[in-house]
Structure 1
Amino acid sequence: MKKMLVLYSTVDGQTLKIIKAIEAKINHEYICEIMSIDECQHIDMAIFDKVVIGASVRYGHLNKKLYQFIEANKAQLAAKDNGFFCVNLTARKEGKNTPETNAYMQAFLVKSGWIPKQQAVFAGALSYSKYNWWQTLIIQLIMKITGGSTDKSKDIEFTDWVKVTAFAKTL
């Protein structure tokens, strides 16, 4: 059976939740090895048929270790069937929820210098219950500026699971 390396970078767990949903849809075609980008800086990608990376945006940035991993493994990634998806709250808005229209995905493609063969953008979750008071304040400010919910009494999941399933089927 084919092997797929699935790497992720997450802050509050939504990216990992999306990874698990993708794994559930493709587990009959691939054996998936799921690892945090924090744990895989020196992994042998030769044993994998496909590499998929999912990463979340926090305060306007993707994890620095994501870029370091890509830089160190760009040739191996290019030689593999591969995919990348970005998770961010901007993607909750129509017109900002595709790889072509999402500013974070476009910035990633430029900064990383890597063009994944399969790309997707998913809206994340607003998890006020997981934030400390400072994070809550910053996220509320960002939400106020961007027209999102500032109601810290409830968490809101914006992820379109139908879209996640469709991406999984392309893998």
Structure 2
Amino acid sequence: MEQVLLLHSSTDGQTIKILDYIKRELGQDCECTLQDLNSLPDIEWQKYDRVLIGAAVRYGHLSKKLYQFIEKNLQALEQHKVAFFCVNLTARKEGKNTPETSAYMKKFLVKSPWCPSLQAVFAGALRYPRYNLFDRTMIQFIMRITGGETDTSKEVEYTDWDAVARFAVAFKQF
């Protein structure tokens, strides 16, 4: 049975939801371990056949812990089968939802010393009722500027699950 490590840097849980979906898509022949990357875990890389890292963008940035993890584990990341995806609300728009067109993925690739050979970008979810007042106000402001949903009573999931399923297939064949 193949051993797969699923690492996440999630803010509101959509990245974990995407990883759970990928886990189901990988099927019974993969044993998956889910771990929070923000805790800067020590990874026993030799235990895993492949690793998938999912990270959420918040206020235009990926977590500093993600970059610390990459710095700490750069050699292992380059020597193992490790794929990466980022989750953001901008990816809800056509033309901003691929690694080649996502400003966040481009920024990641400039800032990070690691360039994953398998990458994806997925739209996240908007969960206004779950946010605290500050986050709700800031995200509403950002959505107003970018032409998105501003009704703070709504929850909207923008994730393209077909795209996630295609990425899961690519990851399994990776």
- CA root-mean-square deviation: 1.0
Q: Name the residue aligned to 1:126.
A: 126
Alpha-carbon distance in structure 1 between the residues aligned to 2:52 and 2:59:
23
The residue that corresponds to 1:106 in the other structure is 106
Structure 1 residue runs without a partner (length 5+) = none
SS at match of 1:57: strand
What is the rounded CA distance, in whole Å, between the counterparts of 1:27 and 1:68 in structure 2? 31
Find the counterpart in structure 1 of residue 66 from structure 2. 66
- The secondary structure found in structure 1 opposite 2:82 is strand
Residue 166 of structure 2 aligns to a residue whose secondary structure is helix
Distance in 2 between the 1:18 and 1:153 partners? 23
Deviating above 4 A after TM superposition, structure 1's stretches of 4 or more consecutive aligned residues are: none
Calculate the TM-score normalised by the size of structure 1. Answer: 0.97
Q: How far off is 1:40 after superposition?
A: 4.2
Secondary structure of the residue aligned to 1:33 is strand
Task: Please state how far the C-alpha of 1:2 moved relative to its aligned partner.
Answer: 1.6
User: Which residue of the partner structure matches residue 21 of structure 2?
Assistant: 21
Corresponding residue number in structure 1 for 2:150: 150
Provide the secondary structure at the position in 1 that maps to 2:58. coil
TM-score, normalised with respect to structure 2: 0.95
Q: Deviation of residue 27 (structure 1)? A: 3.0
Distance (whole Å) between structure 1 residues aligned to residue 68 and residue 44 of structure 2: 16
Q: Which structure 2 segments of 5+ residues have no match?
A: none
- Number of residues paired by the alignment? 171
How far is 1:47 from its partner?
A: 1.2
The question of whether the paired residues in 1 share the 8 Å contact of 2:40 and 2:65 is answered with no
Q: How many Å apart are 1:12 and its aligned residue?
A: 0.7
1:138 aligns with 2:138: yes
Give deviations 1:86-129, integer Å, cap 9, x for gaps. Answer: 00001001110000000001111111121112110000001101
Answer with 74-83 or 33-42: which moved more.
33-42
